[in-house]
Structure 1
């Protein structure tokens, strides 16, 4: 199953879709599964499909060998003439976000950050918009070891992914369940360590927009698994 690790050398793409209903979400998930199960593109490493929890929508966490490989896939006739029109028709918004993992941290009880439908992670994905001039400082602020977070009940892991166009960051986090995440999310500021409050306060000064949802992993496939089967 796919592993998230800082500076892994992959291009990490978040294909994120919103829709109005759970039925629409189910349709997108099924279409994504078909694409993932038939993926055999040069440079494709893995795809992991997430179904929305708090709001209808999906996210596909995709690892590519390089930007050139991704662009070759996007330029293909099948993608342009079939895939793009399909998802434009069945979703209310589409975001194809190209990133690199610049920081990752996991609880000591875990050996690594694994994303898999065989796990029960409550996944949080937050997209944070930022001016290009401020992206390096935001990466530096958020991409630091957080020892306090290791002690928060229900925390499992998180990663910071830098948008390669300089305009955003993505936080990808795994929690034990919704109850633990909500307790952390709504924790009063005065109960957080001073250094954590400082980072959060700085982030609020440079982040120009946020979009967030929670997810469960429902499907995954990797090129490594395909190669082992052949």
Structure 2
């Protein structure tokens, strides 16, 4: 828990903050941290599973999604090719041991780029999925108009939102599989799991509290 979180939790009663408001603050802080340092595990929680993606692709013909093995292999090659090309250049002998520091930094950034692309796409998909869900749920209103065909005979608004969400699902899933392949290659080559870069935050407690409060308010 951050210093700001501890302060808010401790002073919730004194400041008349409800448990819901405290929870919203914590959730906002978690989202900020995740966006600054997304992980493969977080991405997997946002994108469709293999079975869900198969069902989406079957139901929506417009969805484009690559083959799992091809995408995963592309992620593997993304890292392995760079390793093979750069290892003779970026490694050095240090006291009869090979120093991989410079090469590791490069591979960290390559995997980080794949993770960042997948995370951005996963977030976009989640936003489109939520919009489609909200529009579909609005059908429970007996005065609804969303499910009525337009004068041009086109898809209704909710159906169009579901189609867009399905297409974004294909994008997010594909990039997540590629990122998973990149992480697998990194683990094989470096002997450890890839970890997101965590900058050393030296801001004061008050500065961090102000930033987190702003995030909670959406600005």
TM-score by length of 1: 0.21
Indicate the structure whose relative CO is greater, using CA pairs within 8 Å and at least 6 residues apart.
Answer: 2
Q: Which has the higher helix share?
A: 2
TM-score by length of 2: 0.22
Q: Which has the higher strand share?
A: 1
